Amino acid sequence: MSDCTVEVGTAAEGWVELPLAEYPELREPGGSANVTVPSALLYVIVACVSPECWVALWSTCTHGACGLEWRPDLQLAECPCHGSVFEPDGTVLLGPADRDLAVFAVGRRGDSLWVHRPL
């Protein structure tokens, strides 16, 4: 499972703030959100997988251009187009995709999550 001990850095180091007030679904395990921050080239699914533990996965399937969907019941990302499935660490679990997803560290500081997206 994911590493939940994340030391959040600064915006200058590529950490992007996601205020939990804007993403209240991320406060509780099982919650997820599609997060798009074009200025940071950040297009991810963020999911809360256990208390105080989040994952952030690139939201576009590596097989094609389809947007992935988070399955909280399975804690997996699934592609609605041809059925590829990805682990929370981005690893392909089921093809036809044959390339892992990019994943990004997520930590909490104050009442915000921070995703590490170095440019």
Name the site residues for ligand FES (rule: CB under 6 A). 61, 63-64, 66, 79, 81-84, 96-97
Strands ordered across the beta sheet of 53-58: 32-37, 42-50, 53-58, 103-104
Residues in the chain: 119
Please give the residue whose beta carbon sits closest to ligand FES in the complex. Answer: 64
Name the amino acid, one letter, at 10.
T
Give the nearer residue to ligand FES in terms of CB position, either 40 or 85: 85
Tell the smallest beta-carbon distance from residue 17 to ligand FES (Å).
30
Cα separation of 101 and 4, whole Å? 19
Tell the smallest beta-carbon distance from residue 60 to ligand FES (Å).
8
Tell the smallest beta-carbon distance from residue 61 to ligand FES (Å).
3
Give the nearer residue to ligand FES in terms of CB position, either 4 or 81: 81
Give the nearer residue to ligand FES in terms of CB position, either 71 or 109: 71
Give the nearer residue to ligand FES in terms of CB position, either 70 or 114: 70
Beta bridge mates, 103: 57
Both tokens of 86, joined, read 């990805």
Cα separation of 14 and 65, whole Å? 25
CB–CB of 79/63 below 8 Å?
Answer: yes
Tell the smallest beta-carbon distance from residue 64 to ligand FES (Å).
3
